[in-house]
Amino acid sequence: MKDISRRNFLQVCGLGIVAAAGTGALAGCSGGSDDGGSGTGSGDSKIATIKARGKLNCGVKADVLGYGYLNTETNEYEGLEIDLCYQIAAAVLGVSYDEAKEKKLCEFTTVTPKTRGPLIDNDSLDIVCATYTITPEREEDWDFSTSYRTDSVGIMVMKSSGIAEMADFDGKIIGVSQGSTTKDAILTMFEDKGIGATPEFKEYPDYPSINSALESGNIDAFAMDRSTLNTYMNDQKELVQPDIEFGTQDYGIASKKGSDLSDVVDETVTELLDNGWMDEEITTWLGASA
């Protein structure tokens, strides 16, 4: 059994970098920025920067119920992914989860599929925890944690649309989010199942815009992860052939490629999956078992 966990080692390194900057006393720990800002150079320690700043900068969704949602009544973010960010902050800053939440040790920024990657690259954000699908292409540019949740794509329409099956999408307009993998997932599914439909796709900057376009009749369908669609579902809307599951989405937490923060993020997620915390969160926020 290890005398010290990877997380604790990284925490010690982070503290040591700040305390012993320039002494080289801690071999194996990269030199850290001591300015408390968000920027880091190629040789800097993200963990040391976060510790100096005292907060974890997190990119999250503001419009996905159960995952990341900005409650307009409280003006607070809430959901499974918000709680997960506090767990990461607790691990990095060496405090308990409850203390991280109580002291609000996370600084939240709403991200979209188009902005989330660049905000990691320019060090505005330390992590992105925003129903971010893990793909081989994305893993070339950013580090991802072990998947904490799996979802699939759905296509939502107005019940009055007359669209009852996938083949009915021929010539129809499907709204998708900019920078998402949804379009490719739909086309792959059509091909795999031999569905002879050729829809048009229109990209939007955010989910509320797609939903508004659907309700106003400017598009025929709203396609996205089913967890996202659930936010906008009501008695006038329905999923088309929900029994057809496709475009499996494995959500992970993204961090800067090669940063010392990535190991802490992955270890924390793995621990939360193993100890049952994630199962409890899914039940609390999504009303479902893992």
Q: Of 144, 100, 111, which is closest to residue 259 (Cα–Cα)?
A: 144
pLDDT at 44: 79
The angle subtended at Cα 246 by Cα 278 and Cα 241, nearest 5°, is: 110
pLDDT at 288: 58
Residue with tokens 């999923």, as numbered in its chain: 239
Q: Tell me how far apart the alpha carbons of residues 47 and 256 are, in angstroms, rounded to a whole number.
A: 12
Of the pLDDT bands very low, low, confident and very high (cuts 50, 70, 90), residue 86 is: very high
Q: What is the DSSP string of 149-169?
A: EEEEEEEEEEGGG---SGGGG
**Which region, left, alpha or beta, applies to residue 69 given φ > 0 means left and ψ of -120 to 50 means alpha?**
beta
Q: Tell me how far apart the alpha carbons of residues 63 and 13 are, in angstroms, rounded to a whole number.
A: 37
Q: Of 98, 76, 81, 97, which is closest to residue 227 (Cα–Cα)?
A: 81
Q: Of 170, 171, 156, which is closest to residue 215 (Cα–Cα)?
A: 156
Q: Of 128, 99, 92, which is closest to residue 10 (Cα–Cα)?
A: 92
Coil/strand/helix, residue 70: strand
Of the pLDDT bands very low, low, confident and very high (cuts 50, 70, 90), residue 93 is: very high
Tens of pLDDT, residue by residue over 131-165, are 999 999 999 999 999 999 999 999 999 999 999 99
Contacts of 166 (CB under 8 A, 6+ apart): 155, 189, 190, 193, 195, 197, 240, 241, 244
Q: Which of residues 253 and 288 earns the better pLDDT score?
A: 253
Q: Tell me how far apart the alpha carbons of residues 55 and 255 are, in angstroms, rounded to a whole number.
A: 15
118, containing H or E segment: helix 116-121
Phi then psi dihedrals of residue 155, to 5 deg: -125, 115
Q: Which of residues 44 and 38 earns the better pLDDT score?
A: 44
Question: Is 70 exceeded by the pLDDT of residue 218?
Answer: yes
Q: Tell me how far apart the alpha carbons of residues 282 and 263 are, in angstroms, rounded to a whole number.
A: 23
Q: How many other CB atoms sit within 10 Å of the CB of residue 43? A: 9
Contacts of 236 (CB under 8 A, 6+ apart): 158, 159, 160
Tens of pLDDT, residue by residue over 53-81, are 999 999 999 988 899 999 999 999 999 99
Q: Tell me how far apart the alpha carbons of residues 165 and 163 are, in angstroms, rounded to a whole number.
A: 6
